[in-house]
Structure 1
């Protein structure tokens, strides 16, 4: 059939009759993706090749191409008539194209000419704007130079209107007075005061113009015109500084507030506050300071240290209130723009520091702690006096941030002062605690008058050292944290001394320095130690912590709480010594009491070697067992120096320990005698002898009678034997079988 496009079918395999249709595709092949606007063939093939073999992909694409060709042929065959009609209608297409292209070159030429004209106009416009900008910049420079020239000329004319000295003012003619632009009232007055004020006003005006001139100079640097007139500007600046300095000095000498105010405004305008501060220092402050500090007294010349700074500061304060107050008040006027001046630091304090460093450098030395502290506190008071002239908190902060203030504070080496005080106080305590024996305080001793309740010089020295840390003539408030730490170290040193002494007694080792007394110490010695520890605890927790809190009352409540807790912890360290000392006293008394228990071992020997009847009386050693504890606790020293609670604790602990030792020896003797009894009974059975009252029975009876008497002695001391566990064990060990369950005497 003509006109029908035939498409060659794609090759099919031999088994294609039973396979899927030709237009069927695997799941991984999606022809719809080819129609998406953002389809990328390379990315698509790269993605498929990761899991589809290349041959399979190529085969599938060829199959899809064949399918597309068949569809195209089907479309042409289906609309073949329309396709043929389209081709017949497209007649003289080339001529239509030529007609369409004909106006295009002309249009392109017109566009090119228009673009050229626009670019030329734009270039001309840009060139004109650039010339205009350059002209404006040149005009600004020209105006700046003209203004600079006019200001320089104006300043020179105003400076020429100034007289060389204040004395020349009355000789000025009316024209010169007119140049000063004084008001009518001042023109009528011809005294010196009016002339000073007018001069100061003129100087303020000149300074204002110089401020403008400096502004112009900053914006017109490196210009030939400026370089040419630079000498004129410098000359005018020098003349202004000189004239302003003379006027300022004149105002200071005559205490003229208006003149001073105008001069300060002039100095502030030219940003030359340092010059005003230096003039005030050298002209007003230095002469008076040198008169006060600059001359050595006869005591200084002789090498003594009688001259201190407190009196010097007092005179300087009077001088400030009399001769400096006006200037200080003027410079601190609110909204006056004079806050740039700091006469307190850069004039007064600077000169005082210089004078002390030059004439009295030894006053800064901490080598003499007492004089150093006095001078340091006087200096702090002087600084506080200067800060009183600061109108606000920010002014105080600024004053403290000045370099001269920082340099002044660096002169006072508080760290070295604290080290010297540390060595002084700690050395005294260490000397007392390294003594080989306890040193008792007598009523006539000076220590006793300051600490009437302490008995040992070691304890008195500790208390004096603790108090010294917080004395007015020792403590430096800025180093209060160091003195607090030092206080705790002193308490710890004393605690270590007591505990080391007790441990030395227990270990029987060679005593360390300061602990030799513990080797041969009696119970009464330790009674004194316990008394002193209790007294120190009361002092530290009472008046001492109260005194420290009152001294630091200016601190915040949080700091006060921390300080109070630290001191109370030091008191707890002392309190922790009490159980150790109580146990030591118990051991001393027990060691003395158990000497009589050695006679317990002789009861068995006595019974075996003598043919005595059954015992009816207690042994003699029983009476002496509790005699030492009774003598100690009922003595005047224990009653006077120990609390009732401590005495009861000592009594119970001592009796309990003696009874425990008693029980150990009695149990040992009972066990030994039981073995001997078995041996005797075996021997009697072999000999056929009759058995009567045995030695074991006699010994047990003697022990039982002894512990009954011992129990009566315990009761006499106010204790119940049945409440003492070792005594119950002792009763169970030696009591007859019918009396095991009841303790009675």
Structure 2
């Protein structure tokens, strides 16, 4: 039984686990991976496994592998030993198998050599055929080229038989007499144009052949003939085109234009039309010679010139434009509008009226620019489709024409002009009220200050027709917002300087330091008017000017202008605060007489007061005078008046409470000190006080006087429409001076 137990436990340890069990971090399958690297494996395990444990596990695994190998050899050792006895005549079997394999290899090698030689022969034949085809194509190309050149030369020889320019005297008198009939002349011109179109078509074919047969000696030898034919064609085509233009022969012009399009020489036709037809017309309207430049009554003005040019285009150029834009004609490659008419007009302006392009005179410059846009729109009216308009605008001469109008410099000059006017108005040292007749002018919205009128005029100038350029509307919008910002900054900086009491620290702030409180009524009135205008008629006028813009853009413009109005409106609380401080300071001058009450009752033996002090009537007198003034009654709104009364009375009451509280506290402290001194003196002398408890102290007299004053002050507040009990400082003031039996009820 013990032997069975030992044999049962031989493969396990005391806990019943297998002897060859390994930790979880030791994985046998890692050694079977193709990319297994022993050094990397050890480095990875060393980070969390002690080196001794790792070496022990590896040695244990190595021993188990050797044990398994020995068991495998012992298990199949009998078969391994018997293997040598079963291998009989192995060499002979190998020889018998080698013979057919060698024979098969030789046959395959012979067959491969045969196929390879056939393949090489086939490739040689194919290469020879390709070379022959290429040579044949080149030969055919050369033959076609030769035939085309010969055909062109033959057709060119036929040209002299057809008169090209009847006005140059190229035919003798007999021929002229025979062909005096206009119909015969027209037929001959049409015949010549058709012949030139045919020659041009052949020349187009010739260009195609030459492009595919470059650098060949045969072609190089024919270059002189080709160039000669090309020169003759250009000259003859030009004569025929000029003749057709002079006689307005539509068929001849149509054929010539097709010939120009065939040889890809649209520039030649456009230049001929410009020099022969357009240039003389423009020269008569805008002379190029220095002696005639600027001699006209309009000087550099272009509006009248454009009108004459448009009339000439209608009479003298429209026929060609209609021919070139006819449907399915294939003549859309020409752009006589840009490369003939517009190019000549631009050249005439540059030479004849260069001052018209100068932004140094903004008014004349803008008028000429807008006239130019009208002229371009008139030219676009001759375009038959949208694609033709796009092609016209994409031409280089169109871009060059637009570049002549330096809108950036124009915008800068207008900025300096408009912003400079406002800046000059704001740099004065005092506010400048205008006369009532001017203030009530319709354009000024009843504004009262010259600075505000200048701002409104500057804002409107940005969007006037004689100033605004739609393509630069973003710059003028920015200028409008900068004007509003400049005005708001002028107000804020002035009010800030007045509050800080700084003089001469900021140029442009002197107006606020030297201003009287009534002047700020003008400022408040003008701001309210400007804010109303910005959100009303002014905004509508700007949106009407920009009505062609997308709705998203209009929304942004509206928000920006309203934001500028808000920046002005944000200054109103500062103005109200400034007026309040000015009125309060004047009122406090009378309020300081309150301190004399203490001296009156300390130095004299006056009885209890029965009426208020004289200074009380003067406390609110500056406020009443301010409200009764001409400026306040005329320009101060009911809401602003009420707000001013509330803010001023609250501020004055706060100061009143501070002074009264200090006076009462000081009187009580003084009385307490006097009583203490008196009691000490009585104890030293052994005498008793004769003062009765019914006697009224000086502090009680002071408080009674202040109480009477506070009551009168409350009645004065009521006369202004202010309920004294609603002011927290007045309630505190009442409780500070009122007798104990009247502390809880305020009754003035």
Tell me whether the two structures share a fold, i.e. TM-score over 0.5: yes
- Cα distance change of structure 1 residues 49 and 66 upon mapping to structure 2, 3 Å threshold: farther
Distance change (3 Å), C-alpha of 1:224 and 1:442: same
SS across alignment from 2:329: coil
**Residues 1:165 and 2:185 are matched in the alignment:** no
Match of 1:550 in 2: 544
Give the 3 Å change call, closer, same or farther, for CA 264–601 of structure 1 in structure 2.
Answer: same
Tell me what 2:725 maps to.
722
Residues 62-81 of structure 1 correspond to what in structure 2 (within 5 A)? 67-75=71-79
**Aligned position for 1:265:** 258
Higher mean Cα deviation, 315-324 or 141-150? 315-324
**How far 1:513 sits from its partner (Å)?**
2.8
1:702 offset after TM fit, Å? Answer: 1.1
Aligned twin of 1:707: 710
Structure 2 portions without partners, runs of 5+? 1-6, 13-17, 23-30, 43-53, 172-180, 683-687
Q: CA deviation at 1:562?
A: 0.4
Q: Is the 8 A contact 2:288 2:348 kept in 1?
A: no
CA displacement at 1:571 relative to structure 2? 0.3
Contact in 1 for aligned 2:447/2:453 (Cα 8 Å)? yes
Matches within 5 A, 1:534-549: 534-549=528-543
TM-score, with normalisation over the residues of structure 2?
0.85
Alignment RMSD? 3.5
State the distance in 2 between where 1:584 and 1:386 align.
62
Provide the C-alpha distance between the structure 2 equivalents of 1:298 and 1:238, rounded to a whole number of angstroms: 39
**1:738 equivalenced with 2:747 (yes/no):** no
Q: Deviations over 1:346-385 (max 9, x none)?
A: 1111111111111211111111111111111111222222
CA positional deviation for 1:558: 0.6
What is the 5 A alignment of 1:337-486? 337-445=330-438, 448=441, 450-486=443-479
**Which secondary structure does the structure 1 equivalent of 2:651 belong to?**
helix
| Aligned counterpart, 2:689 | 688
Who is 2:176 aligned against?
Answer: none
Q: Show the 5 A alignment for 1:209-608.
A: 209-294=202-287, 306-445=299-438, 448=441, 450-511=443-504, 512-608=506-602
**In 2, are the aligned partners of 1:297 and 1:307 still within 8 Å (CA)?**
no
Answer whether contact 1:442 1:448 (CA < 8 A) is retained. no
Aligned residue for 1:183? none
Tell me which residue corresponds to 1:134: 131
TM-score (norm 1): 0.86
| Alpha carbons 2:430, 2:515 under 8 Å: kept | no
Q: Does 1:697 align with 2:700?
A: yes
Deviations 1:542-581 (A, max 9, x none): 1111111000001011111101111101100110111111
8 A contact 2:367–2:466 mirrored in 1: yes
Distance change >3 Å, CA 501–CA 44, structure 1 → 2: closer
1:4 maps to which residue? none
What is the CA–CA distance in structure 1 between the aligned matches of 2:240 and 2:275, rounded to whole Å?
15
Deviations 1:576-602 (A, max 9, x none): 111111111111111111211121111
Deviation of 1:323 after TM superposition, in Å, equals 2.0
Whole-angstrom distance in 1 between the partners of 2:147 and 2:544: 69
How far off its partner does 1:665 sit? 0.9
The aligned runs of 1:176-191 (5 Å cut-off) are: 191=184
- Deviation of 1:193 after TM superposition, in Å, equals 1.9
**Once structures 1 and 2 are overlaid, which stretch shifts more, 467-476 or 305-314?**
305-314
- The question of whether the paired residues in 2 share the 8 Å contact of 1:443 and 1:449 is answered with no
**Residue number in structure 2 paired with 1:147:** 144
What whole-Å deviation, never above 9, does each CA across 1:414-463 have from its counterpart, x for those lacking one?
A: 11111111111111111111111221211455995641501111111111
Change beyond 3 A, Cα 1:342–1:44: closer
- Residue segments in structure 1 that go unaligned for 5+ positions in a row: 1-15, 29-38, 173-187
Per-residue CA shift, 1:655-708, capped at 9, x if unaligned? 111111111111111111112222343455437232422222221111111111
- Provide closer, same or farther for how the CA distance between residues 513 and 296 of structure 1 changes in structure 2, counting only shifts above 3 A: farther
Q: How many residues align?
A: 697
Q: Distance in 1 between matches of 2:604 and 2:77?
A: 150
Report the Cα distance in structure 2 between the residues aligned to 1:62 and 1:612, rounded to whole angstroms.
131
After TM superposition, give the deviation of residue 396 of structure 1 in Å.
2.6
Q: Secondary structure of 2:222's partner? A: helix
Contact 2:363 2:466 in 1 (8 A): yes
With over 3 angstroms needed to count, the CA separation of the structure-2 counterparts of 1:662 and 1:107, relative to structure 1, is closer
